[in-house]
Amino acid sequence: MRKLTARLAPVLGLLLGSALALGPGASPGVSTAGATEAPAEAPAETAGNACAGSANFLIGAARSDITGPAAEVGMMGYGQVGQKTEGIHLRLYSRAFVIASPCNGRRVAFVSADLGMVFQAVKQQVVERLRAKLGDTFSDDNVLLSATHTHSGPGGFSHYTLYNLTTFGFVPQNFEAIVSGITDSIVRANARLAEGSLRLASGDLRGASANRSPEAYLRNPEAERARYPDNVDTRMTLLRMTGADGRELGLVNWFAVHATSFGNTNHYISGDNKGLAAHAFEVGQGGLTPGGPDTFVAAFANSNEGDVTPNILGGTNGGGANDFEDAALSAKKQYDFAAHLWATAAMPVMGGVDYRHAYVKMDAVDVAPAYADGSAHRTCPAAIGLSMIAGAEDGPGFGSEGATCESVHDVWSQFTCAAVTTPCQGEKPIVLEMGTMKPYPWSPEVLPLQVVTVGPLALVAVPFEVTTMAGRRLRDTVRAQLQGTGVTDVVIAGLANDYSGYVATREEYARQDYEGASTHFGPWTLAALQQSFAGLAASLRDGTSVPPGPTPRDLRKAVVGLQPGVVFDDKLLWVDFGAVAEEAKASYARGETASVTFWGGHPRNDLKLGGTYLRVQRRQADGVWRDVAHDGEGGPLYHWQREYCVPTLACSHVRIDWPIPLDTPPGTYRLVHEGNWKSGWDGRVHPYSGSSRPFTVR
């Protein structure tokens, strides 16, 4: 990772300064008194026109901590074996919104989670736990789980082998943190349901994203490209939620850009640009404090980001001096535009909530000629191509993109196209065919497709990373089927409910850049999705039900984890856990970084969900220390490192770095570390804490 510099402090100050300057925010609490329970679910046939002209909704929002192990767990996103967690830049959260329409008795839960993707196992067990707690209130049909696509979170939370390779198997502790946190956020959002209103706004945010595969994009028909001024989707769509008493409850906005401001050498857990923007908005609206209630919830959700990078200067360069600045700059662009849409949102949302959901066996879809090139086609068993190993520009791997069957044949003349692909996969030189592995495929093939409508807004929930043009085509398909229903805004909710790679257009697929090589089910995957989503949208339009489709596997009993847990923690005989190993300086100027190292324990002993491993505290006039920052806000950094002390290898050092913001009030401060250590004698886990000496900030 590029070295942390003092330049981080002014950038963070600028971001949080914008948040605090947003204007009047929510009241300090969200009352649940008088909360109105939504009526029982109405059958699909009656859920259509009953809500025409109605602006009445029940709304609830909540945020829960889903931060997994902060040390020695492989990270999910870049597929780098050596990229393991070593600390926290910004905690990960599940942000849940439950919206119900009394006019038809239907409700939906939308979640934007700070994850690389939502895997099938997560959705299965979240719905299972919701049923145990709330009965038939929620099901696969009306729960939409979406990922922000941060590449800086711990992995090992899939039940499929492909996604657990770099984590050496399944990591139960991380899986449980994610599932329990998402479930908790939905349950609490549902409990907060109260009367409110929705407003919708949208606009074009330019200069915050770039197409990382422009040559593949240029393969799309010229007439189609001429319809759009940009080779990325610049549209941001924002849904503003306000209680009947005037209190602001939250927002969701959708904007297509990868959360890859942090590169593949980063080891800090972080929500990346999406997480930083969400945190800044929550601070500005609710006066968010360490450990404070989630009085306002802001989700910066993702969309069709498949070929879209925040690193607008190319490669891994987002315009900052390091990853931290790149993430802060990208976050500020999204935050500022969301604040503009928030302030100008004037379109009242009218209508009801509705949804359709079906499972589709994506490796065996017969695509009708009307959705393809005039001929019938069939999707393929899942496989990845050679260019997938090369990685994308913002996460480079090995080799180069654009490796087609033909180019491989040219390089190795003894090969034929038939030797490196199948007729079904077309131009793709296959390096791994996950779909034919035994006893189970290495990636899922039965995948959930879902359409949710909230008044004029339609969310197309796709379990893939969809490229810019693929997303546009899919939106057009759904929009055409929903004509006459009042739907005006169709949004791709990407990385939703499950995950099985990318979706490129047929033309982009032929070039076999990273996105095409990562389109698992072959060149006609997008056409298969268009066909399937057309059916779901038509069912919504007509008020008819749809068959649920095949049941996906439940592989919870088949997963294997090869990574051991914490055996025990150790330290030098003459020190205590929490003792300072390297002390802070006596004084710092604003813009400098205060740093302290402690003797600590392994963070896997306690994930501190809803808590923190560090506190920045300021001494008040009465001598009381008050928290001013913690590890959930993207400011102070928690860093863990194994310390090989004699006679064991079980010692840990914990370093806390606080880049001091330029607007920090002068005064006396200290850095506090809280952790847990595990005994090697009886295996019991014990809490500890330590603090630095007081220091002044000038």
Summarize pLDDT for 437-460 with one digit per residue, the tens: 999 999 999 999 999 999 999 999
Confidence label for 644 from pLDDT (cuts 50, 70 and 90): confident
Contact 475, 370 (CB under 8 A): no
Which of 399, 403, 411, 410 is closest to 427 using CA atoms? 403
pLDDT of residue 410: 61
Is 10 among the domain residues?
no
In a domain, 411, yes or no: no
Q: pLDDT by residue (tens digit) across 42-91?
A: 444 434 578 888 899 999 999 999 999 999 999 999 999 999 999 999 99
Residue 604 is classified by DSSP as: G
φ and ψ of 231, to 5 deg: -95, 15
Of 503, 534, 566, the last residue of a domain is: 503
Write down the pLDDT at residue 291. Answer: 53
pLDDT tens for residues 535-565?
999 999 999 999 999 999 999 999 998 888 8
The CA-based diameter of the chain, rounded to the nearest angstrom, is 81
At 51, list the tokens: 């809500």
On whether both 492 and 592 belong to a single domain, the answer is no
H/E element holding 299?
Answer: strand 297-301
What average pLDDT does the segment 643-648 reach? 80
Average pLDDT over residues 105-124: 98
DSSP class per residue in 638-659: EEEEEE--TT-S-EEEEEEEEE
User: Does 415 score more than 90 pLDDT?
Assistant: no
Whether residues 593 and 490 share a domain: the answer is: no
pLDDT of residue 522: 98
Residues 497 and 607 in one domain: no
Integer Rg of the chain from CA: 25
486 & 623 share domain: no
What stretches of 422-505 show up as alpha helix (H) in DSSP? 468-481
Residues 99, 239 within the same domain: yes
> Crossing angle, helix 120-134 and helix 172-191, to 10 degrees?
40
Are 159 and 122 in contact, with CB atoms under 8 Å apart? Answer: no
Report the amino acid identity of residue 690.
Answer: G
Mean pLDDT of 236-265: 97
Question: In this predicted structure, what is the pLDDT of residue 105?
Answer: 94
Read off the tokens for 697: 């900030």
Domain boundary among 503, 529, 562: 503
| Cα–Cα distance measured from residue 9 to residue 313, given in angstroms and rounded to the nearest whole number | 22
CA distance linking residue 641 with residue 638, whole number of Å: 10
- Average pLDDT estimate for 134-141: 98
386-412 average pLDDT score: 81
Q: 490 and 592 share a domain? A: no
Give percent of the chain with pLDDT exceeding 90. Answer: 82
pLDDT above 60 (res 13): no
**pLDDT value of position 76:** 96
Q: Is residue 644 part of a domain?
A: yes
For residue 687, is it within any domain? Answer: yes
Alpha carbon 69 to chain centroid distance? 17
Residue 510 CA to residue 494 CA, distance in Å, equals 23
pLDDT at 6 over 70: no
Lowest mean pLDDT among 40-49, 146-155, 417-426: 40-49
Range of the domain at 157: 54-350+457-503
Q: How far apart are CA 524 and CA 374, in angstroms?
A: 12
Collapsing DSSP to helix, strand or coil, 679 comes out as coil
Could you give the percent of the chain with pLDDT greater than 70? 90
Note whether 467 and 587 are same-domain residues.
no
Q: Is residue 120 part of a domain?
A: yes
* 475 CA to centre of own chain: 21
Cβ(332)–Cβ(15) below 8 Å? yes
DSSP string, 35-48: PPPPPPPPPGGGSS
Number of domains in the chain: 2
Q: How many CB atoms lie within 10 A of CB 20?
A: 13
| Phi, psi torsion values for 664, nearest 5 degrees | -65, 130
Mean predicted lDDT score pLDDT of the chain: 91
My answer on whether 336 and 472 are in the same domain is yes
> What's this model's pTM, rounded to 2 decimal places?
0.93
Of the pLDDT bands very low, low, confident and very high (cuts 50, 70, 90), residue 297 is: very high
How many other C-beta atoms lie within 10 A of the C-beta of residue 58? 23
Grade residue 367 by pLDDT with cuts at 50, 70 and 90.
very high
The answer to whether residues 479 and 589 belong to one domain is no
- Read off the CATH number of the domain in which 685 is found: 2.60.40.2300
Q: Does the pLDDT value for residue 5 go beyond 60?
A: no
CB-CB contact of 447 with 462 (8 Å): no
69 and 182 within one domain: yes
Does residue 585 belong to any structural domain of this protein?
A: yes
Q: Looking at the structure, do residues 98 and 186 belong to the same domain, yes or no?
A: yes
- Of residues 13, 88, 26, 29, the one with CA closest to residue 282: 26
Is 480 found in the same domain as 587? no
Alpha carbon distances (Å) from 265 to 82, 149, 397, 589: 9, 17, 12, 30
Per residue in 514-523, pLDDT (tens digit) is: 999 999 999 9
Q: 533, 646 in Cβ contact below 8 A?
A: no
- Selected residue with higher pLDDT from 39 and 384: 384
Decide which of 503, 535, 567 is a domain's last residue.
503
